[in-house]
Amino acid sequence: MSAPAVAVTDLATILRLRAAVCRAAQGDSLRWWDDESLTPYARVILDPLFPRTAPSAAIKIAFEAARLRYRAAFAAANARVRHLFSLDDETEMSLVDAEPAGVAPSEGPIADAEAFRLVLGADWRDYDVMDRGAAGLLEIRPRDGSLTDSVEMARALASAHAEGGSGAPVFPFIRVS
């Protein structure tokens, strides 16, 4: 069996960032899209169905909801982009088999951008807004210029979600040539 193309610790960080954004998107938090998979309501359904793996199942459902929402947001965009749920090919291939077990999103609701920033904690990264497009598309650039490090890119992309308000999601992306 070959080693993963991306370090396991980097994959865990990316999964944690995705989980934080998904938790903020939930109906009891910032309501960025229609998903309840990481709320206490989902636990009532998932715990009996998946007694040993309910948290992992919930995260997988949340990730898929986010991917679908991003796909819809970028459907009309005619550009090559990277976003938190579609990084470079090598990273995405490594994430295919990454198990989200142990990736624990915030237990409680995330009420506002400041609470979201606190959830990200040490993973918060500064970024520059390059363009605000229609339908919440938000082109950013990591402030440190790191466009080749998938973890630093993911940190900046996750952080930029704080630009969204309650019920008003943004879809941060980085344009690639």
- Is 69 contained in some domain? yes
Whole-structure pTM over 0.85, yes or no? yes
- Is 2 contained in some domain? no
CA distance 140 to 29: 24
Alpha carbon 22 to chain centroid, angstroms: 6
- Is 3 contained in some domain? no
- Is 19 contained in some domain? yes
Structurally, the chain folds into a number of domains equal to 1
Domain interval for residue 87: 8-175
Pairing of strands 171-175, 127-132: unpaired
Handedness of CA 104, 74, 166, 40 (dihedral sign): negative
- Is 74 contained in some domain? yes
Q: Provide the pLDDT for residue 5.
A: 65
> C-alpha distances in angstroms, 140 versus 49, 95, 121, 127?
40, 23, 20, 6
Asked whether the predicted pLDDT for residue 1 surpasses 70, the reply is no
- Is 41 contained in some domain? yes
Q: Provide the pLDDT for residue 6.
A: 79
- Is 1 contained in some domain? no
